[in-house]
Structure 1
Amino acid sequence: MQIASNFRLLETQTLSKIHETSLDILANTGIIFQSAECLEIFKAHGAKVDGQTVFIQEEMVDKAVNSSPETFQWEALNCERTINVGKEQQGIHVSMNNGPIYIQDLDMGRRPGTMKDLINLYKLGQQSKICSIVGQIPVEPGEVKNPHRYLDIFKQLLHHTDKPLFGYVGSQKEINQMFDMVKIYMGDPDCLKNKHLIGVSLNPLSPLRYDKTPCETMLAYAKEGQPIMVLTCAMSGVTAPADPMGTVVLQNVEILAGLVLSQLIFEGTPFIYSPASAIPDMRTANYITGSPVSNQINIAGIQMAAELYGLPTRCMAGLTDSKIIDCQAGFETMQNYLMVAMSGVNVVNECFGILDSIMTVSYEKFIIDEEIMSRAACVVKGIDYFEDDFSINTIKEVGHGGSYLTHPTTLKYCRKFWEPSVSETKSFDDWEKNGSLDVKLKANQKFKQILENSPDMIIDPDVGIDLEKYVKRVKKNE
């Protein structure tokens, strides 16, 4: 029996008050949607619309909460990698980063990301025992600037993973082209009708507005019933109230508005509540990720989703403002990941190698962060035990002053304990004999070894050819 439990910040009465305040704002202040199609959908379902401002009543929110599933299967090309997300899942699912511009390693330092780096990160995600969902854009390939770069990037994603897919935002036309590629990848033109295969994260423009791109993205994904994550990135005192609880409310309002729209487009669309707000550096108003108060705001959101709405949750986790792999990077990453993990979150992102407030991703920190996440997973899982009788017979057998070192139960279970992947546990003398490597150097060696042993492409070559033909045809016709 496990005794691990979720870390709660707010009492149920406070959660209810946040909900009631959110309903007031939705009904009386409203949300701007910069999309004629979205506005027509709201009108068709009885919402009051004034210009681009939509006023959402409580009944509409209640219906959306009830229609969005508590749990769903996120399918993969390799069915053994399919995951359950939500109430019935085991452990925490980790998805890849999105948004860094720079790549960093010990050999070449910090530099703009390239397509090769993007492919390398997809390969590391595919080979990772921690990463459950591969996709997004873990580093921007700066040299790829053609109008169809989204297809070139998406093609590489499909070449290098058989795990559940994480897609990108865009126009409905662009996203439907990516969906065509998923159908080629799956070998089934009807796969999106029958499976949840590709999710997306989209951002409101705080405060209280959805501009054209997130609206288009919502329309495209929801029409196909694919998982949607509305990720509010409000900054207290800048794009949200300076009062952290005010930011909790604003964040909740924006996410609920997205939930309602997703269910109006296609009832039953999986929706993942994704708080990602932050306390900025109030001296400069710059975005930072290391404040524990930011996590408190987002844990409040996770509580809202889990306890009031019954929705799966997702949150950014392995973040740091440090520019290099140093002590600050270590304690901020562990602080942020462990706080979110202990909240009971279902899915986390921005966990693999993040530095410099999500501007940079480090190859070495990717490997180090895997160990940080495995440590946190061990903590929140609760204590394992091996014997139903709590070893009473073993204790009696060894008796007073005896040794358990050579007891049969020790030999039986000694390999079941958690072990580090790059941390040093040997004696000082053994560490010196093995080259006196610190954790960064060990991580440097490990990521290179993983990439060296990764295949050039994991999908069937014929499927790769079909994807290439499709991309060339789209480029030729536009």
Structure 2
Amino acid sequence: MSKRRTRTGQYLLAGCNLEFLTKDAIELIHLGSLAVLEKSGFFVEHDQALDIFEENGALVDRHHKMVKIPGYLVEECLRTCPPQVLVAGRDPKDDVHFESNRVHFCPFGIGVGVHDPFTGQYRKAVKEDVANAAKLCDALEEFDMLELVVTPSDVNPKTANLHIYEALMAHTTKPCLTDPEPCLSPYIFRMAEAVAGGKENLKNRPPMCGIVCPQSPLMLHHNLCEGIIAYARRELPMIMEPMTMAGASSPITLAGTLTAHNAEVLACIALAQLTQKGTPVIYGCTSTIFDMKSATSPVGCPELGMIAAASVKIAQNYHIPTWVAGGLTDSKLNDMQAGHEKTLTALLPALAGANMVYGFGMLDTGMTFDFSSLVADNEFIRMMRRILQGIPVTDESLAVDVIQEIGARGSYLMHDHTLSNYRTEQSRISHLERRNREQWLNSGATDYTTRIEEEAKQILRTHQPKPLEESVAQELREIIAEAEKDLL
């Protein structure tokens, strides 16, 4: 089975395809969200978006920039959302299909610092770090797509997203995320067209996906509306991803947060579908809690995984693909806290059937990218994929004839059944330690952190991603130069 076709509940496995909410609970959250959108409404800071809502039957208060959208209109918009979304790789083998319960994995973004892979010291991120992160992700087989990773401090912030996209596309064949920043979108679209091979190819095989984040509670700010409209007019895929904080920007109860979160997603989806029916959209979630003790919004808390898993079930009820946070930590180091939190927050949404779980490679509440952490997470994801494959129960796997043949006091070690199946039945490790103590001591007694740090450095020294055609690479550089001339 291809690694990019991992499905939850692929076999009959109790506990996989995790049902985190009952059907009745999902319906109550849906109805609650519709009531919020129709009776309370939401703030829209964009005149054209207000026009679009009003022309399609929403009640618009232009003085206060409030929109109340009837439930039937929201449900009509949901019906026009495609159930599958393609984000294409430069190489078709790297295509990512958001559909059904197919599960993929992606690093996090967008941090401001890195742990230098060669010195181990913390420093501000630079453009070379974006390239190196893409190179590392390109080499690590369990990652399917790339986020924006880090914001480079050595380029002008007004055009930083263009530099990020160039560095990503030049160092991996896997598809990438983009930020639909209004002033940069025309340049991003041209860069994506260059990579895809023209406007028609961009529409049919988009090598990128936009992401928009409403401002909680219930605010569609100007840049978000501009991005949604721009992407929808081109029928390009985008993720609608609220980042609510339970107790601060959404209700303290998780059910209330899910209702508010869902209302914000539905408002964004409505704008996209009313702009262009059939626009490919993905239901996003990075909502968490506001921790009352630390006055922070932690991402390694169990509630983040719970909200993400619940959001997956809500979106599946709408037949919309999903992109949710997981594999995150608030720890500043690759330590026991990081391992615990990454496992907790990633496994829940993966078991629920999230189409994309993103958040890997980061420490420090998503603020610091760590190259060795990405190597560790790659191995962790491989373990998760094994869990997601489940336990097939067939005549071959039951092995009744083999059990009878071996009988009492026999050995299965060299039996043909063992030799034929052990590669697919057992998890594979690269850096985890399973040897006995004597073997470990004789091999140098290195710890896990040392092993993953060495692997990260080795990949960065030796891996050569498939390069862009020089004409395409040159066109990307020229577009960035033009943007900097126009905008700076």
For the residue of structure 2 that corresponds to 1:141, the secondary structure is coil
For the residue of structure 1 that corresponds to 2:158, the secondary structure is coil
Matches within 5 A, 1:274-289: 274-289=284-299
CA RMSD of aligned residues (A): 1.9
For the residue of structure 2 that corresponds to 1:233, the secondary structure is coil
Shift of 1:283: 2.0
Matches within 5 A, 1:5-84: 5-51=16-62, 52-84=65-97
How far apart, CA to CA, are the structure 2 residues paired with 1:190 and 1:73? Answer: 15
Q: Which of these residues, 163, 167, 176, is aligned with residue 165 of structure 1?
A: 176
Shift of 1:258: 0.7
Contact preservation (8 Å) 2:20, 2:310? yes
For the residue of structure 2 that corresponds to 1:229, the secondary structure is strand
Please tell me the residue identity of whatever aligns with 1:471: I
Contact preservation (8 Å) 2:213, 2:241? yes
Per-residue CA distance 1:351-371 (angstroms, 9 max, x = gap): 2x2211111121111111111
Match of 1:177 in 2: 187
How far apart, CA to CA, are the structure 1 residues paired with 2:46 and 2:243? Answer: 21
Matches within 5 A, 1:238-249: 238-249=248-259
Q: Which of these residues, 197, 202, 213, is aligned with residue 187 of structure 1?
A: 197
Match of 2:417 in 1: 409
Match of 1:256 in 2: 266
Q: Which of these residues, 138, 143, 150, is aligned with residue 126 of structure 1?
A: 138
> In the alignment, is residue 331 of structure 1 matched against residue 340 of structure 2?
yes
Higher mean alpha-carbon deviation, 325-334 vs 180-189, is at 180-189
Contact preservation (8 Å) 1:196, 1:225? no
Per-residue CA distance 1:292-315 (angstroms, 9 max, x = gap): 1232233222211112x1111111
Shift of 1:477: 4.6
Contact preservation (8 Å) 1:318, 1:334? yes
Q: Which of these residues, 307, 311, 326, is aligned with residue 317 of structure 1?
A: 326
How far apart, CA to CA, are the structure 2 residues paired with 1:475 and 1:213? Answer: 20
> In the alignment, is residue 341 of structure 1 matched against residue 354 of structure 2?
no
How far apart, CA to CA, are the structure 2 residues paired with 1:374 and 1:386? Answer: 24
Match of 2:384 in 1: 376
Contact preservation (8 Å) 1:86, 1:346? yes
Matches within 5 A, 1:191-206: 191-206=201-216
Q: Which of these residues, 453, 457, 473, is aligned with residue 462 of structure 2?
A: 453
How far apart, CA to CA, are the structure 2 residues paired with 1:239 and 1:192? Answer: 36
Match of 1:112 in 2: 124
Per-residue CA distance 1:367-415 (angstroms, 9 max, x = gap): 1111112112211220257863632222222222111112222223333
Shift of 1:263: 0.6
For the residue of structure 1 that corresponds to 2:144, the secondary structure is strand
Match of 1:420 in 2: 429
Shift of 1:424: 0.9
How far apart, CA to CA, are the structure 2 residues paired with 1:38 and 1:371? Answer: 44
Match of 2:6 in 1: none
Matches within 5 A, 1:419-438: 419-438=428-447
TM-score by length of 1: 0.94
Give structure 1 stretches of 5+ with no counterpart: none
Match of 1:102 in 2: 113
Contact preservation (8 Å) 1:192, 1:224? no
Shift of 1:252: 0.7
Q: Which of these residues, 394, 397, 415, is aligned with residue 402 of structure 2?
A: 394
For the residue of structure 2 that corresponds to 1:42, the secondary structure is helix
Match of 1:230 in 2: 240
Contact preservation (8 Å) 1:65, 1:259? yes
For the residue of structure 2 that corresponds to 1:269, the secondary structure is coil
> In the alignment, is residue 462 of structure 1 matched against residue 471 of structure 2?
yes
Q: Which of these residues, 274, 277, 282, is aligned with residue 267 of structure 1?
A: 277
Contact preservation (8 Å) 1:197, 1:226? no
Give structure 2 stretches of 5+ with no counterpart: 1-9
Higher mean alpha-carbon deviation, 8-17 vs 119-128, is at 8-17
Please tell me the residue identity of whatever aligns with 2:345: N
Match of 1:300 in 2: 310
Per-residue CA distance 1:38-80 (angstroms, 9 max, x = gap): 1111122121110211111111111111110111322222112
Contact preservation (8 Å) 1:94, 1:348? yes
Check 1:457–1:83 CA distance in 2 against 1; reply closer, same or farther (3 A cut).
closer
Contact preservation (8 Å) 1:103, 1:113? yes
Contact preservation (8 Å) 1:48, 1:54? yes
How far apart, CA to CA, are the structure 1 residues paired with 2:157 and 2:298? Answer: 31
Higher mean alpha-carbon deviation, 444-453 vs 183-192, is at 183-192
Q: Which of these residues, 434, 442, 450, is aligned with residue 441 of structure 1?
A: 450
How far apart, CA to CA, are the structure 1 residues paired with 2:158 and 2:286? Answer: 30
Please tell me the residue identity of whatever aligns with 2:330: D
Shift of 1:256: 0.6
Shift of 1:104: 1.4
Shift of 1:211: 1.0
Higher mean alpha-carbon deviation, 177-186 vs 412-421, is at 412-421
Check 1:235–1:57 CA distance in 2 against 1; reply closer, same or farther (3 A cut).
same
Please tell me the residue identity of whatever aligns with 1:344: G
Match of 1:357 in 2: 365
Please tell me the residue identity of whatever aligns with 2:406: V
Shift of 1:246: 1.2
> In the alignment, is residue 211 of structure 1 matched against residue 224 of structure 2?
no
